[in-house]
Structure 1
Amino acid sequence: MSLADPRPLLFGLYEQACIGNGSGAVSLWTHPADERLTATGMRYWIDLARRAEEAEFDLFFFGDVLGMYDTYRGSEATAVEWGVELPAQDPLLHIPALAAVTERIAFGATVSTTYEHPFAHARRFSTLDHLTAGRIAWNIVTSYLPGAAANFGLDVLAHDQRYDRADEFLDVVYKLWEHSWSDDAFVGSKETGLFAHPDRVRRVDHVGEHFRVAGPHLSIPSPQRTPVLIQAGWSPRGREFAARHAELIFVGDSDPVAVREGLAGIRARAAEIGRDPSEIRAVVGMNLVVAPTRIAVQEKLDGFQSHYSSEAQLAAYAGWGGVDFSQYADDEPLIKQSTTHTQTKETRADAPVLTAGDVRRRFGAVTAFADDRFIGTPGEVADNIGRFVEESGVDGFLLHQFVSPGSLEDFATLLAPELRSRGLYGGFPTEGTLRSRLRSDRRDRLPADHPAVSGVR
């Protein structure tokens, strides 16, 4: 995307229904300005959702996990000590309450295809789509934690096998959402006493390798039928999955050239499948540290650092990639491993070999996950965002908070005015379903070229 492109950027807030938020520095719940210790109660979330809507954010996005981070030092002890992505509450239960106290902002929720059943999942998201008037999106994940598999009494599936299961999961929910009820099946006429036409409600009778589902779907067609489909996998198999299914991609890279090339590959593959590649949008994470002066920025970073635990961050990173760094000396090269976890620099065959000391030094600073582009004065960060959009072609950003709600407030009061002055903030549609806001044609429903509608695999 170029700045001359009329499509406005999407801005969202990344959250998890926990105290030790894994989107940034997980230990900063200890910072005196952070309010996440109250995140087990509803008041915290209502306040945060209202703040996000007042800041004119477009999306409130929930990540999620289904197990503890138990790779580091061979147990979950460090994760429990520091609350790494704990307590992992169910974000789906938060959304109806937050939708009830907001009018415009949309909600994205992460749900795994590996440990859910498609019939129950389809019912929940149809319910959410009705309750939010079409303000709902599903972030499709396949889950990488071995502990999550153990929690469901299962063996963890290999990386690509999880995507094979996900493909069938999507086939089933598409049949339920898109094909079980005709658009004119529901009547709801008090005059005639007809609730729905029986001949326009169909079973799906899916029989596959992983699932057997009879149907019909239990919900009447919701505003979007299928929730907006978000996908965050950046591996080769994940990109193939995104090309087939995704409407919004959560990009797994921070290098703008790599992002542009990756998105070009996904969109080219989508075109081969028969989809319109221009309707696939992409957002990237933004860990923001902004203050009026460079001195104030450094003071803020110093304050974060004083409440930062590198051990907590190493426990999180070890869980993501499946490599226990505690087993290596500082000068010892990390052996390339094929894990069932996400593919990080330590596991990808095409990445440079690192030592354990390289990783420990990286995670010695609170900015380990922060891109320097998003650290600075409002003018500096706004300029950098403009350049990043030009270089990468992304369509928006998800804010990751260092402290909550302080990082969101810094965005709203310091950065947003600078972005507006450059034409980089505001203008994203505020009415209608989330899909209608994302799409050029303002459609509520998936287009005919999407596999959910066409049935093409």
Structure 2
Amino acid sequence: MSDPKPLLFALYEQASVGCGGAPSLWTHPADERLTANTFDFWSNQARIADQANLDMLFFADVLGFYDVFGGNADAAVKWAVEAPANDPLMIIPGLAAITRQLAFGATVTTTYEHPFTHARRFSTLDHMTHGRIGWNIVTSYLSSAARNFGLEQMIRHGDRYARAEEFMDVVYKLWEGSWAEDAVVADKVRQVYAQGDRVKPVDHIGEYYRVAGPHLCAPSPQRTPLLIQAGWSGRGREFAAKHAELIFIAKSDPHEIRQGLEEIWAMAEARGRNRGDVQSLTVLRIVTAKTEIEARRKYDELQSHYHLEAQLVSYAGDTGFDLSRYADSDALSNHTEGLTSYMMRPDGSGKPLTAGDVRKRFASVTRGTDLILVGTPQQVADRIEAHARISGTSGYMLNPLTSPGTLEDFVELVVPELQKRGLYRSQPQAGTFRSRLRADGASRLPPSAYGASFRSAW
């Protein structure tokens, strides 16, 4: 039997006081998220992750407050639910400067950004990080964000994906096709930086965008940043099969994860891509200590600082269901703005969820459908190993319950156990983000990638 392959591990973060892991746990005495507006908070996290050889520090992001619960943003502000939301792109360059190999993932929406400025921003980040940058592609889901950009209501799901597809075409043209590989000469003697005939406009004219170009940045180490995507809907899976190199999965059932990945891999292969070109990270939360008794004590302490209302604010923003208007016996109704997929019980019975069902599901830290492991380091490592074997996931995205406590516990207690099993890398990786994930060590998109089709035949 061959030796096990090390899994990928990343740290999930948000540039906010209330992180999506459990938005009210900033109230825990040991949590330091009230200092999230300082560079010291982020530099400490990045240094721990870098020294522990984590693969990535990932930033989720939102462009509006969670204002569905109660019909306003009062509860979101009270509990700091994914708020206040600073711009992670302003934090990453500083963290890149103080780390050696840690890669960074940043969430940017295709719905409210413009592809020309977006392409320049990520090319700059790719240069400044020496190729350690990935882009998490989202289409946004908050109605408050739509209003912040002058829209009366959120663009429909299908239309957001149509806009995203054209957005991708434009940035591929800029990143992959605007500058020839040999355009930059950088010759002081000849007094030539770049050959004008090797840099050309993209002249894109589409339904949503008109972009002339050329791209303002010279080719960066990866040209196109590593592409991350989290859509799990049917349309989201199609998008992932076409574009994504790393999928972010917020599910716990390993069989469900395997089924979804197999579907995405099959669609990717139908496009001429290899299965290995699409890897994945599953959200993971842990509570661990040297003994089971101590781990349970830690969990109970977390529970004492966990507040249901804060979680329901998050749930309302994610789904559109404002449970402040429901009695426990009320079934979730599609008369609201809520997503139909959240109305039915997950047991396959076909019965609608009631508000009481949801409140019960989210009443504790071990809530919802996310993967949370409580136990000794050996127990946690055992469950990670078993879950990865069944699910086929490439690795895990550690979602902190307290910061930096969850990360410190993972690094000090769980990582040594994973290393014993060959499931965690012992040596730092060099090179670009993409080169570390690819079997061929290439920094650029492979020829089979959709984005590579925009390379000009110079």
Instruction: For 1:75 and 1:128, locate their aligned partners in 2 and report how far apart those are by CA, in whole Å.
Output: 36
2:78 aligns with 81
- Mapped contact 2:321–2:336 kept (Cα < 8 A): no
Aligned to 1:294: 292
Alpha-carbon spacing, 1:4–1:84, altered in 2? closer, same or farther (3 Å) = farther
What is the RMSD of the two structures over their aligned residues, measured on CA atoms? 2.0
Whole-angstrom CA distance in 2 between matches of 1:178 and 1:18: 34
> CA–CA distance in 2 between the matches of 1:330 and 1:133?
53
> Paired residue for 1:435?
434
| Cα deviation, residue 15, structure 1 | 0.3
8 Å contact 1:333–1:356 — kept in the other structure? yes
- For the structure 1 residues 441 and 214, does the alpha-carbon distance in structure 2 shift closer, same or farther, using more than 3 Å as the test? same
List per-residue Cα deviations over 1:424-448 (Å, max 9, x = no partner).
Answer: 1115760100000000110000011
Q: How far off is 1:26 after superposition?
A: 0.5
Superposition map of 1:193-342 within 5 A: 193-336=191-334, 339=337
Residue 7 (structure 1) shift = 4.0
Structure 2 SS opposite 1:448 = coil
Distance, in Å, in 2 between the alignment partners of 1:97 and 1:293 is 38
Q: 1:305 to 1:252 in 2, by over 3 A?
A: closer
- Which AA in structure 1 matches 2:65? M
- Percent identity over paired residues: 55
Structure-2 residue corresponding to 1:416: 415
Paired with 2:346 and 2:427, the residues of 1 have a C-alpha distance of 37
Give, in whole Å, the separation in 1 of the partners of 2:435 and 2:251: 27
How far did 1:345 drift? 5.6
Kept in 2: contact 1:337–1:346 (CA 8 A): no
Distance 1:425 1:342 in 2: 39
Paired position in structure 1 for 2:401: 402
Q: What is the CA distance between 1:8 and its match in structure 2?
A: 2.3
Q: How many residues align?
A: 453
Q: What aligned pairs does 1:34-73 form with structure 2 within 5 A after superposition?
A: 34-73=31-70
- Give the secondary-structure state (helix, strand or coil) at the position aligned to 1:397: strand
Whole-angstrom CA distance in 2 between matches of 1:140 and 1:5: 34
Amino acid at match of 2:28: H
**Structure 2 residue identity aligned to 1:277:** R
Paired position in structure 1 for 2:425 = 426
Superposed counterparts of 1:85-96, under 5 Å: 85-96=82-93
Give the aligned partner of residue 112 of structure 1: 109
User: Matched residue of 2:251: which SS?
Assistant: coil
Which of 98, 101, 112 is the aligned partner of 2:98? 101
User: Mapping of 1:119-138 within 5 angstroms?
Assistant: 119-138=116-135
1:281 Cα offset (Å): 0.3
Task: Select between 48-57 and 216-225 the one with higher mean Cα deviation.
Answer: 48-57
**Counterpart-to-counterpart distance in 2, 1:262 and 1:370:** 15
Instruction: Give the residue type in structure 2 aligned to 1:84.
Output: V
Distance in 1 (CA, whole Å) between partners of 2:347 and 2:271 is 28
C-alpha contact (below 8 Å) 1:252/1:284 kept by paired residues? yes
Equivalent runs, 1:383-398 vs 2, <5 Å: 383-398=382-397
Q: 1:376 maps to what in 2?
A: 375
Q: What residue number does 1:151 align with?
A: 148
Distance 1:347 1:41 in 2: 42
Cα gap change, 1:73 to 1:59, in 2 (>3 Å): same
**In structure 2, what residue type is equivalent to 1:75?**
N
CA contact (8 A) 1:433 1:444 kept: yes
> Does structure 2 conserve the Cα–Cα contact (< 8 Å) formed by 1:28 and 1:402?
yes
Is this contact kept in 2: 1:286–1:370, CA < 8 A?
A: no
- Residue by residue over 1:316-354, the C-alpha shift from the partner in whole angstroms, topping out at 9 and shown as x without a partner, is 011001111222211122124785869546599977521
Which AA in structure 1 matches 2:129? T
Amino acid at match of 1:237: R
Q: In 2, Cα distance between the equivalents of 1:29 and 1:402?
A: 9
Q: How far apart are 1:421 and its partner, in Å? A: 1.0
| Separation of aligned partners in 2, 1:147 and 1:175 | 31
Q: Cα distance 1:334–1:381, how it changes in 2: closer, same or farther (>3 A)?
A: same
Given the superposition, is the C-alpha separation of residues 348 and 111 from structure 1 closer, same or farther in structure 2, using an over 3 Å criterion?
farther
Deviation string 1:26-74 (CA, Å, 9 cap, x unpaired) is 0111111001101101111111100111222110000000000011111
User: In structure 1, how many angstroms separate the alpha carbons of the residues matched to 2:335 and 2:43?
Assistant: 43
Distance 2:301 2:60 in 1: 26
Query: Residues of 2 paired with 1:121 and 1:308: CA distance?
Result: 37
Residue of structure 2 equivalent to 1:453 = 452
1:287/1:210 CA distance change after superposition, 3 Å: same
Q: Is the 8 A contact 1:69 1:316 kept in 2?
A: yes
Counterparts in 2 of 1:346 and 1:84: CA distance versus 1, 3 Å = farther
Name whichever of 446-455 and 312-321 sits farther off. Answer: 446-455
Report the Cα distance in structure 2 between the residues aligned to 1:71 and 1:63, rounded to whole angstroms. 20
How far apart, CA to CA, are the structure 2 residues paired with 1:357 and 1:4?
49
Give the Å deviation of 1:375.
Answer: 1.3
CA distance in 2, matches of 1:388, 1:162: 33
Tell me what 2:356 maps to.
357
Q: Secondary structure at the match of 1:166?
A: helix
Distance change (3 Å), C-alpha of 1:257 and 1:245 = same
Aligned partners of 1:220, 1:309: CA distance in 2, in Å? Answer: 49
- Distance (Å, rounded) in 2 between the aligned partners of 1:213 and 1:342: 37
Amino acid at match of 2:450: P
Aligned equivalents of 2:186, 2:368: Cα separation in 1: 52
* Unaligned residue ranges in structure 2 (runs of 5+): none
Contact kept in structure 1, 2:283 and 2:371, CA below 8 Å? no
Measure, in 2, the Cα distance between the counterparts of 1:309 and 1:61: 25
Which among 187, 190, 210 is matched to residue 188 of structure 2? 190
Of the structure 1 ranges 33-42 and 289-298, higher mean CA displacement relative to structure 2 is found in 289-298
Relative to the length of structure 1, the TM-score reads 0.95
Q: TM-score, normalised by structure 2?
A: 0.95
Structure 1 unmatched ranges of 5 or more: none
